[in-house]
């Protein structure tokens, strides 16, 4: 696991976008695992800008999103389908049918769909203040595959900022499991802000602690890159 501390989220987004573009130049057909939330937004902005600048095509790229709420239609403004379309997909030349999301319909074979495409080459991750990755909440089994989950109260509270009131936040979601995520060939996790500092300090203790799902990344030896700003890095023990 490599930890990279940069000044701010814009610098983080740009640094990871450059790495992704480099990989796409080597393999224009790669499979991208994508995350939602505020953390990857600067990355998506840089990816759009750099791709236009360098004439990079996404027509042979396939995307696999980490998670989606249960009970929201795809055109609901808080759905992750809507988020991805508004913040990334509509700006690039992706082909039709190149985007996959876990859903009620494919929950039992989402992992198989990913495997049949050759696996995820690059997985982007954020982290919840409670240490969740995707919607793998504390104590999710390490061998979990894509599944339906109940959201933790902390997650419902944190995500209520996007909804007009807390009762509108879905209480269930469909998420890649921890074992699904760990199979990705390369992982970039982005964390910024003081509210992520505690989860980051636990994750960076170097071992898997089931109460902090992000710490499962310690079980993957290579190609895990943790990008932090100074606030998110502020509790890392020396």
Using CB under 6 A, pick the residue from 46, 79, 146, 159 that binds ligand GLP.
159
Is residue 131 part of the contact set for ligand GLP (CB under 6 A)? no
The span of 36-44, 89-97, 106-114, 218-226 binding ligand GLP (CB under 6 A) equals 36-44
Question: Which two tokens mark 171?
Answer: 């209480």
Is residue 39 part of the contact set for ligand GLP (CB under 6 A)? yes
Residue 130 bears catalytic tag: yes
Tell me the closest approach of the beta carbon of residue 129 to ligand GLP, in angstroms.
Answer: 7
Nearer to ligand GLP, 20 or 102 (CB): 102
Number of residues near ligand GLP (by CB under 6 A): 14
Per-residue CA distances from 100 to 44, 75, 77, 109, 208 (Å): 17, 15, 18, 12, 29
User: E-assigned strands of 14-104?
Assistant: 31-34, 62-65, 67-69, 99-100
Using CB under 6 A, pick the residue from 24, 34, 124, 134 that binds ligand GLP.
134
Asked if residues 231 and 200 have their Cβ atoms less than 8 Å apart, the reply is no
Of 147, 138, 163, nearest to 215 (Cα)?
138
Question: Which two tokens mark 132?
Answer: 């969740």
41-54 vs 9-26: helix axis angle to the nearest 10?
50
Tell me the closest approach of the beta carbon of residue 152 to ligand GLP, in angstroms.
Answer: 9
Return residues touching ligand GLP (CB under 6 A). Answer: 35-39, 66-67, 126-128, 134-135, 155, 159
The residues carrying an active-site annotation are 67, 130, 132, 137
């Amino acid at each position: 696991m490599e930890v990279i501390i940069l000044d701010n989220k814009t610098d983080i987004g740009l640094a990871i976008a450059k790495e992704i573009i480099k990989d796409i130049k080597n393999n224009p057909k790669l499979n991208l695992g994508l995350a939602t939330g505020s953390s990857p937004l600067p990355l998506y902005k840089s990816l759009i800008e750099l791709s236009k600048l360098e004439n990079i095509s996404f027509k042979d790229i396939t995307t696999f999103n980490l998670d989606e709420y249960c009970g929201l239609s795809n055109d609901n403004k808080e759905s992750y389908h809507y988020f991805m379309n508004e913040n990334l997909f509509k700006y690039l030349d992706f082909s039709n049918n190149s985007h996959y999301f876990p859903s009620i319909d494919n929950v039992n074979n989402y992992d198989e769909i990913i495997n049949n495409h050759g696996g995820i080459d690059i997985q982007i991750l954020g982290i919840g203040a409670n240490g969740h990755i995707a919607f793998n909440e504390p104590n999710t089994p390490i061998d979990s595959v894509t599944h339906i989950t109940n959201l933790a109260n902390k997650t419902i509270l944190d995500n209520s900022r996007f909804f007009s009131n807390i009762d509108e936040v879905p209480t269930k979601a469909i998420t890649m499991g921890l074992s699904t995520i760990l199979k990705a060939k390369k992982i970039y996790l982005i964390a910024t802000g003081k509210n992520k500092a505690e989860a980051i300090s636990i994750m960076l203790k170097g071992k898997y602690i089931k109460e902090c799902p992000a710490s499962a990344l310690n079980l993957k030896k290579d190609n895990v890159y943790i990008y932090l700003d100074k606030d998110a890095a502020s509790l890392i023990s020396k």
